[in-house]
Amino acid sequence: MFGGKSRDVLEMGISGKIKIVISQDILKELAEVLVSKKFRAPVSFIQQTIHELSEITELVIVTEKINVIKDDPDDNRILECAVCAKADYIVSGDSDLLTLKHFKKVKILSPSDFLRL
């Protein structure tokens, strides 16, 4: 949906250079955000986006609930997915996540910092 560094990271996943993981909770939140007043995306666009993400990501079954980020509890879904997937990195522009810098063994980086690796 957006270009720039985030798109560059996504392209790395599409090309198989990195593995991108996602959970049902993240997909659900994405759909809710896209339908919200901020984006007002049509249902067909949301369905297509979810389908495309499902094709290039690995679905993680979340078995551990986390409640670390109090200001935006939905961000905890990202931590849950990363921890359950035993991910090396979370790549995000979200300030609540970036403030943590790491969670358990997962490093949290902006797209720019990740691409510099």
Domain positions in the chain: 4-116
Residue 1 — pLDDT band, cuts 50, 70, 90? low
Q: In the predicted model, is pLDDT for residue 2 greater than 90?
A: no
What is the mean pLDDT of the segment spanning 108-114? 98
Strand positions, DSSP E, the chain = 21-22, 58-59, 89-91, 102-103, 106-109
- First-to-last C-alpha distance (Å) of the chain: 24
Residue 3 confidence (pLDDT): 82
Fold of 4-116: Rossmann fold (3.40.50)
Residues 66-104 pLDDT 10s: 999 999 999 999 999 999 999 999 999 999 999 999 999
What is the mean pLDDT of the segment spanning 103-108? 97
Question: What average pLDDT does the structure give for the chain?
Answer: 95
